[in-house]
Amino acid sequence: MTAEIVAILLMYIKAFAVGGAICMTAQIIINFTSLTSGKILVYFMLAGVALTALGLYQPLVEFAGAGATVPICGFGYLLANGAIKGAEKGLFYAVSGPLTAASAGVTAAVVFSLIMALLFHSRPKRN
Amino acid sequence: MTGRNAQNCNENYLKYVSALAPPTKHFKNCLSAFAVGGLICSVGQFFRYMLGYAGLSGDELAGAVSVILIFFGCLLTGLGVYDRIGRYAGAGSIVPITGFANSVTSPAIEFRTEGYIYGTAAKMFTVAGAIIVYGVFSGVLVGIVYCLL
């Protein structure tokens, strides 16, 4: 029982450390290049796709769990993973695989955003 | 103002701006990005465990966790809390999937004044559209390469 609790705690620490490290890397890049947040998101997502295609991201996901899947690289991982899994079944599934894998996330973003836009008004930005 | 003169003017202006801008606090920035990013991932891990106990696994589990996080990202953006977190956390709030949700919800709410079709719906994907376009394209490339291998 104690061993189980220790394993769970360790998993939280690993998720925190890896997720935090990915965000810190992005912050360092922003500090030194003044890239906008949209570009950072695209580059990190592409990095996730590339690392998954090379087989380097899967070990990280197994090691850190949500620490690797929650950052936007995890979205790239999802897309590439869908493609790789689909490729086993044939070209059609290889091409439709990425969007199929990402469908839950994209659908959630669209549906919830529309609901929020109906519920809330924009507010003045305070700096 | 033409040619060299204009260029001089721009250079002087940029120098003036950078002299007035507050210096970037690199260390503090990075630390808060690490803390907030790590915290969001830990929350994701918490939902992973909870839904795992509820009997989900594999792709279903990963999908459900990101849907929940996207929901909270959208809700906090709507409430105006996420922007406040973002001012403190920088990349710590941009890079997690909640930042993706924020990038969809934020223009959806902001452009409501331009109507529900050309405002909310069309502007929803100003940032997220780029992610989806390049994500799907690179994903398809990966799929084709793996098919040929």
Q: What is the distance between the terminal CA atoms of chain A, rounded to a whole angstrom?
A: 49
Q: Which residue has the higher pLDDT, B48 or B4?
A: B48
| CA nearest to B107, candidates A26, A35, A34, A120 | A120
Are B140 and A67 a contacting pair at CB < 8 A? no
| CA nearest to A105, candidates B131, B44, B66 | B66
Domain locations along chain A: 3-119
**What is the predicted ipTM?**
0.90
Closest residue of B to A91, CA-based? B147
Are B44 and A112 a contacting pair at CB < 8 A? no
State the alpha helices, DSSP H only, in chain B.
3-20, 26-53, 58-79, 81-89, 91-94, 97-110, 122-123, 128-148
Are A70 and B112 a contacting pair at CB < 8 A? no
Average pLDDT, chain B: 87
Instruction: Give CA torsion, residues B89, B102, A45, B117, to 10 deg.
Output: -160
Instruction: Give CA torsion, residues A60, B133, B62, B94, to 10 deg.
Output: 70
Chain A residue numbers touching B138 (CB-CB < 8 A): 46, 49-50, 76, 79-80
pLDDT higher than 60, residue A90: yes
Place of tokens 């087989």: A55
Closest residue of A to B82, CA-based? A125
Domain locations along chain B: 33-148
> What predicted TM-score, i.e. pTM, was given to this entire model?
0.86
Q: Is A35 on the interface with B (CB under 8 A)?
A: no
Give residue B40's pLDDT.
94
Could you write out the three-class secondary structure of chain A?
Answer: CHHHHHHHHHHHHHHHHHHHHHHHHHHHHHHHHCCCHHHHHHHHHHHHHHHHHCCCHHHHHHHHCHHHHCEHHHHHHHHHHHHHHHHCCCHHHHHHHHHHHHHHHHHHHHHHHHHHHHHCCCCCCCC
Mean pLDDT of B78-98: 90
Best B131, B140, B141, B145 member to test A by mutation, with max A CBs in 10 Å, is B131
Closest residue of B to A108, CA-based? B67
Chain B residue numbers touching A20 (CB-CB < 8 A): 33-35, 37-39, 41, 92
pLDDT tens sequence across B10-26: 888 878 877 777 666 77
pLDDT tens sequence across B108-147: 999 988 888 888 889 999 989 999 999 999 999 999 999 8
